[in-house]
Amino acid sequence: MIYFSYIEGSGVCHYYMSGSWDSSLKLLINDNPQAFVNWLFEGAQVLKKLQTEFKMHTIVADALLEVSWYDEIFLLHIEFQSTSDPKMGERLLEYNLAAHKEHKLDVLSIVIYLKSDGEVPQSPLLWQIPTGKETLQFHYLVVEMAKLATDQLRHEGLVGILPLLLLTKDGATHGVVDEVIAGLQEAKKYDLLPVTELLASLVLKDQVDQEWIKRRFAMLQDALRETPAYQRILQEGREEEREALQKEMQQQQVALQQQQEVLQQQQVALQKALQQQQVALQKALQQQQEALQKQRDILLDLMFDRFPLLARRARDYAKSVGDPDKLLHLIVDIAKAPTAEDAERILQDAIKGDEETH
């Protein structure tokens, strides 16, 4: 008899697997470790589940099993892989060494490829120096689901791994999906229906197949809703939706804050521009008043020098004029006037012109 204690890891596989594959297989092995282990080792028993991670490493294994076989104890390390990774051997070696250091036991590593993705690295991993001398030889087991015949898993007769039939060489068919559903319903393993639906949607990618899967599992909704797996998937979906909503709200808040900062900058720039315009306007007005006063002084001096009797009228008129150019023209005309009568006529015409304008 072989005995196992199940040590469950989490997290690192997200880097190597898509979220859908990862979620499906995690649900399957977490809910049915006994069936999963019996598939790999006939007669095996799962004693308990433990949460762990390697204390001295940041990596976390997909699954680590403590095996007792004929009074010899070792660790069985399992990794799920959805795509071919040329560094797979090195990854397994890293996990293997970390597990050995952590638990002080020898470790056998297994990688299970969930779908066909070209050639995959085979055991053993060999390291050599340029002379050809080996410096390391690391052996591990490789299971390629896409190369397994469906009958090989049927032969095992384990209800807990029935959804894996869909990953086998000839398993991606409507018939196999129906077979898995029927087997799970007969064994009342409704908790594996959500996993079956996930795997079916991953291996049957055609739009027609997707519509068929939707209709097929819609018929099982009542049974699905009551399963812990469905509730977990539903909860995960809600959490993902909530996280997405929170992320969107945070992004909107950041965007709003940026807009407010831009608006504040624009307001500061506008205020600065207005202040500059006000200063320029005040300066222009001041210059105009100074020029106007200068013209008034020139006109008054001219009148006192040549026509003193007209000085008072000229002064009163100059006070009402706000255009320096108009005063300048008047000064030129008065300066050219040969007599007081001519000067009085010129001044009277200017006064009359302003009165008509106003």
Q: What is the span of the domain harbouring residue 337? A: 272-357
What is residue 25's predicted lDDT score, i.e. its pLDDT? 75
Beta-bridged to residue 79, according to DSSP, are 111
Ramachandran sector of residue 11 (left: φ over 0; alpha: ψ -120 to 50; beta: rest) = left
* Together in a domain, 143 and 1: yes
- Does 238 reside within a domain? no
What is residue 90's predicted lDDT score, i.e. its pLDDT? 92
- Does 34 reside within a domain? yes
What is residue 127's predicted lDDT score, i.e. its pLDDT? 93
* Domain end point (choices 147, 177, 195): 147
Neighbours of 197 (CB within 10 A): 23
- Does 246 reside within a domain? no
What is residue 4's predicted lDDT score, i.e. its pLDDT? 44
Neighbours of 158 (CB within 10 A): 18
Instruction: Name the residue with tokens 């200017």.
Output: 350
- Does 106 reside within a domain? yes
Neighbours of 64 (CB within 10 A): 27
* φ/ψ (deg, to 5) at 298: -65, -45
Which residue positions in the chain have pLDDT lower than 70? 1-24, 26, 43, 47-60, 156, 222-234, 236-237, 358
- Does 192 reside within a domain? no
* Domain end point (choices 94, 128, 147): 147
Residue 20 CA to its chain's centroid (Å): 18
- Does 196 reside within a domain? no
Distance CA 23, CA 3 (A): 26
What is residue 57's predicted lDDT score, i.e. its pLDDT? 56
Instruction: Count how many domains the chain has.
Output: 2
- Does 32 reside within a domain? yes
- Does 252 reside within a domain? no
| Amino acid sitting at position 84 | S
What is residue 136's predicted lDDT score, i.e. its pLDDT? 93
* Domain end point (choices 126, 147, 168): 147
pLDDT tens, 232-280?
666 766 777 788 888 888 888 888 888 888 889 999 989 998 999 999 8
What is residue 16's predicted lDDT score, i.e. its pLDDT? 33
What is residue 72's predicted lDDT score, i.e. its pLDDT? 81
Round the average pLDDT of the chain to a whole number and report it.
81
